[in-house]
Structure 1
Amino acid sequence: MSRLKHHWCLFIILILGFMLIHTLWDSSTQVSTEWQSESEEVYKLKVGFSQIETDNPWRTAQINSFREALLPDNIGFIYHEPEEYSVEWQFKDIQNLIRERVNYLVIVPADLKALTPVLQEAKDAHIPVILIDQSADTIDSTYYMSLISADYLKEGAICAQMLADKYPDETCNIVEIYGAKNSPSAQARSQGFHTALKNYPNLHVIDREYGDFDRVTAQKAMENALVKATDTKQTIHAVFAHSDEDGLGALQAIKTAGISPQSISIVSINGIQDVCKAILANEYLGTVESNPKWGFLVKILIQQRENGYPPFPSMIIPYSVITSENAASYYPTAY
């Protein structure tokens, strides 16, 4: 009797064990299937975006504008964070986006001519390209559907004009806090600034430092400029920064050195809220708003084509000049 009872116990244990294993296996299968179905979004279109510039508040606002514009209309947005700031990386990035079978490509080219072969690949794959550039006349227009022009040259020239207005009849020694070396926007802003300076012989760039569009890096760059100026017995009157992040880094260095911000005029480009605050505090001369909300412009062009209409061949990104006269009105909506 005891042996029979023993066998029954073993039988029940085996049944319970089998049921437990089956339940665990079935549950894990269901979880896996649900995760896959939720992660594999199905979009009616996919837009790939490629640029090489570093992450900062302006760039974050730019990327967010794509998501805000496209995702509500069931349009996917694919963006690979830059691993390095080079044409070579962007070339491979665009190739990867083509392999991912995007329906549209939006490109901020590091070097338009160097990217021509990969633009040909996009053309062969019948993927329309939207360029965000101001020098597209250097390549055949058949490589792109539309051009969105960010006038970086103009932004640099406006910064020169602000300093010329501040120092109309006196010498002004300027430190240029340059953005990333390979950045198209930095190169164009610098070119626009220096071209405009030719009209103002009393304005001189005495030093160039690299801020890399980063506040901490720019602070160190400005610290270097202040040391150099002391060693050469030169007075710094102004700073031209390629971005607000560079300008705010320069401002922090000036304050840390015990120099009154009112004695060095800072101009930059972007229009972020922290700079509006500095302008209102009389610690900053001005900034050129460079609107980062490109996503809605791209969406308009895509909708035109998808609805059977010829997309606009070109669109201009708007800008505004922010100074003490209007900073208070810009501050609430600045990013």
Structure 2
Amino acid sequence: MKLSILDLAPISPESTIADSFHSSVRLAQLAERSGYERVWYAEHHNMSTIASSATSLLIGHVAHHTEHIRLGSGGVMLPNHSPLVIAEQFGTLKELFGDRIDLGLGRAPGTDMNTLRALRRDPSAADSFPHDVLELQAYLAGESRIAGVRAIPGDGTKVPLYILGSSLFGAKLAAQLGLPYAFASHFAPAALHDAVATYRSEFRPSAQLAEPYVIAGVGVIAADTPEEAHRLRTEAERHRVAAFLNRNKDRSLSEAEIDMLMQTPQAEQIIDMMRYTAVGTGEVVADYLRHFATTAQADELITAHHPIREEDRLRSVHVTAQACALA
């Protein structure tokens, strides 16, 4: 079973953004030693608990401190950017670090509507996502669709593309273009099975990929005892509810206020985003992941380790790798 990691570069309570970047390096180094396939970083904006907004810069930073593990975006929100600029950024990464770089692409803004406007993005930009993917792919293949324009660096580097999604739209596009498909079931579980079935049934081979390839997201909270794992889950749920419902407010919530929020329908919806989460000791987590990979028809799982503190998150990564015999 291939396992990878999605690192959101979380900013833990009472830590700094610089601490988050140091933590991402340590996590990637542990993943490399432990036998994980890749580590991806997701583009988010205006979120006080996530530091991965400048995704390509973070990939480059981590690549400098690792040796062979694949690194990439999970994903770059392409409608926020010019395809030419992304081709240049990831072409630069490919030239610097060789065949270790992945380029996962999404069409959501990765933020709220006010921040979308601050990004100078037209809300209708998502409509051009398929065209933008083709334009980007052509730059990387050295076959520009715009006369006289080349991505330098980027031209001819053939950085592999992945389509990310949480609906049938991304599944159909990935199938049509013959690209690997990564489904965001770690936070958007509802359409997982329909999307994967659609992708597999409609897949057309391409120069990049001969057979369909599915990566499914899944949460993980692995610990040395069941009690510790469930304590970490409760902590992660409370942290997530507070982060969503108190987003970008001037003050943090008290424990009593979070207790009240946890009883609301909004909290129930937020917690359901973690529906596919393996919680427990290594053996329990490994069994869950094997079953999930089978039912999701996934060729690879990308794990989002939910513990809030770095030491607990790294322990979860290590326990999972040992239980799944990755190394």
TM-score in same-fold range (> 0.5): no
Q: Which has the higher contact order (CA 8 A, sep 6+)?
A: 2
Larger Rg: 1
TM-score of the pair, normalised by structure 1: 0.32
